[in-house]
Structure 1
Amino acid sequence: MLEDPIVNLADVQELARDVVVIPNRNVDLVPNVTLIGGTGAVLVVDTGLGPRNAQRVLEFAEQYARGRRLYLTTTHFHPEHAFGADVFAGAATYLVNQVQADDLSTRGEGYLSMFRQLGEPVARELEGATIPTPDLTYDETYELDLGGRTVVLRATGRAHSKGDQVVTVPDEGILLTGDLAEADQFAIFPWFPPYDVDVSGVRWIGVLDRLLADRPRVVVPGHGDVGDARLLAEVRDYLVELRDETWVRRDSAMPEETVAAEIRALMIERHPDWRLPEWIDRGVGCLCAEHAGGA
């Protein structure tokens, strides 16, 4: 049975000076929510699923900020990360990359409908949810001055979604990845043909290679425990493994169902402690399509 997807404020973790994370406690459809402060402003990263979670996050942020200006950003457009942003209207400036803004406007309603079918706990949290419209957008990189600290927002290009964005705190070596990385679980492939085929396993590998080259000290994944650069390497290596095992079977012209079944068993054997094996098949489907397309 799905646990209620509630942002829990009980165990807020301090990552560095004026940087805290509200951990997801490995609850499905709850993201890690991070607050980054400077002398003049505080940036909130991700909202939780729906208005009630976002209201909890906003109230915590206002207490944390103690009169400092609030900004909000979301790592990508999926509902547990962004579908509470409207609660922040009037209290914070909502800032994302332009492609993510496009994702919200073109994909948002479809994802809202889909998530409402995931069970009563999810539907309850999405009561009253609306698709947010950002206040500010940027194309590739945005340097946000919080006062004595600059946070960098960077669009990565298509990977987990078209509008993925990472957030870095350069003075502390902290990287926030959204769902480009999750700890101790199989990578989430939102592969739902014909409705959404924006995820790219091949491009995702390239994005993680670039993030690894930056050598972050602390990595905050979209879901799961905070780690370091080894977390990025673990996800990258899994995606390479998934790609290679998929493509070698596609080269032998095996049916996709057989490919998925073989690889699912293999990945579970290699990663017996990881959560959410249901995403393996969708990853195989995505990579089969990329193989066929000559990616």
Structure 2
Amino acid sequence: MTMPEPEVQPSGAQELARDLVVIPDRRLPLVPNIGVIGGTESVLVIDTGLGLTNAEKVLAFATEFARGRRLYLTTTHFHPEHAFGAQVFAGAATFLVNRAQAEDLAAKGPGYLEMFKGLDEVVARRLEGVQPAAPDLVYDTRYDLDLGGRVVELRATGRAHSKGDQVITVPGDGVMFTGDLVEAGQFSIFPWFPPHDTDVSGTRWLAVMERLMAEKPRIVVPGHGEVGGPERLADVRDYLRLLRDETWVRRDSGVGEETIAAEVRAVMLARYPQWDGQEWIEKGVGCLCTEHAA
């Protein structure tokens, strides 16, 4: 079956706080939740959507939203539906990310571009003309962006879903954008593709979730799925903990990885029968098997 068009629809933007909206993913594959945050002087866009056409629509929406204010763009991590539209913003916005993400874009961007083009003809068409963009501004671990009367905190989390994950928070409103560190109603995406990409870490991801929960956000915007409260973080924390424990107890017993994956999959489907993305369970098991002795 051909997948549905991964189309961003800015007309569906929802207000989360004053001068702060999210363009929802509408539960479509390869469509992220996109944030637009305003201050008195500047506006920050979070993620671009997949490809140039989506990014053009996001830029048009942000430009109208800004009404003359300066534009910034950041991306939660380098994966295509989040960052592979950044070139559209060149000259119109300042593109800033953390250093680890910039390195991911440079080193892995071209490979991921080709991999995603091979997923489906719909995706390939969306990615025509795309080139991974180089950021204008790079920070190491922390960056406070003053939009004018509103400071947005950009924080590199360290290796988890990817090496370059970034969380964006608006402290004054209690809003947190997590990218794919959090999905709602979906099994966590483990981009575990040995030997080509093994940067994802289940154990570090779990530690990141504990830290994010300690910040006690009021609103959590996941990479994909419905916006919610702090329970979004707890759901992922609990899933990752269960995935780790069920994998490791079988690893301790000397069970083979194929058997572990089948048994753990059954446990997870019984626990979370309504969740999408079942194909990521085995990827998570494979990752955690390698971290068993860590």
Which band: TM-score by shorter chain?
over 0.9
Match status 1:55 vs 2:69: no
The number of residue pairs the alignment matches comes to: 293
State the one-letter code of the partner of 1:203: R
> Quick one: which amino acid aligns to residue 86 of structure 2?
A
The corresponding residue for 1:282 is 283
Aligned-pair distance for 1:211? 0.4
The Cα of 1:266 is off from its aligned counterpart by 1.2
Q: Secondary structure at the match of 1:99?
A: helix
Residue aligning to 1:198: 199
User: Residue 267 of structure 1 aligns to which amino acid in structure 2?
Assistant: M
- Aligned counterparts, 1:63-74, within 5 A: 63-74=64-75
Aligned to 2:41: 40
- Counterpart residue identity of residue 187, structure 2: F
Residues 61-210 of structure 1 aligned to structure 2 (within 5 Å): 61-210=62-211
Structure 2: distance between partners of 1:289 and 1:26: 32
CA distance in 2, matches of 1:110, 1:262: 32
TM-aligned CA deviation for residue 217 of structure 1: 0.2
Secondary structure at the aligned position of 1:282 is classed as: helix
RMSD over aligned Cα, in angstroms? 0.6
1:278 and 1:253 mapped to 2: Cα distance?
A: 24
* Aligned mates of 2:145, 2:138 — CA distance in 1: 12
Encode CA deviations 1:189-222: one digit per residue, 9 max, x unaligned: 0000000000000000000000000000000000
Separation in 1, partners of 2:266, 2:56: 41
Paired amino acid for 1:119:
D
Corresponding residue SS for 1:10: helix
SS in 1 for 2:10: coil
> For 2:13 and 2:147, how far apart are their aligned partners in 1?
21
CA–CA separation in structure 1 for the residues paired with 2:53 and 2:95: 18
CA distance in 2, matches of 1:28, 1:187: 14
Q: What code does the residue aligned with 2:116 have?
A: F
* One-letter identity of the residue aligned with 1:154: R
Q: Does 1:3 align with 2:4?
A: yes
> For the residues of structure 2 that align with 1:198 and 1:223, how far apart are their CA atoms?
21
Aligned to 1:229: 230
Cα deviation code 1:17-49 (max 9, x no counterpart): 000000001101000000000000000000000
The code of the aligned residue for 1:258 comes to T
Deviates more, 1:24-33 or 1:4-13: 4-13
Question: What is the TM-score normalised by the length of structure 1?
Answer: 0.99
For the residue of structure 2 that corresponds to 1:55, the secondary structure is: helix
Once residues 287 and 19 of structure 2 are traced to their aligned partners in structure 1, the CA distance between those partners, rounded to angstroms, is: 39
Q: Which amino acid aligns with 2:204?
A: R
1:122 CA drift (Å):
0.5
Runs (4+) off by over 2 Å = none
In the TM superposition, what is the alpha-carbon distance from 1:11 to its structure 2 partner?
1.6
Identity percentage of aligned residues = 66
In structure 1, stretches of 5+ residues that fail to align are none
CA offset digits 1:37-83 (Å, max 9, x no partner): 00000000000001111001000100110000000000000000001
1:13 Cα deviation (Å)? 0.4
Structure 2 counterpart SS, 1:53: helix
Once residues 218 and 130 of structure 2 are traced to their aligned partners in structure 1, the CA distance between those partners, rounded to angstroms, is 36
Task: Quote how far apart the aligned CAs of 1:9 are.
Answer: 2.1
Cα shift at 1:265: 1.3
TM-score normalised by length of structure 2: 0.99
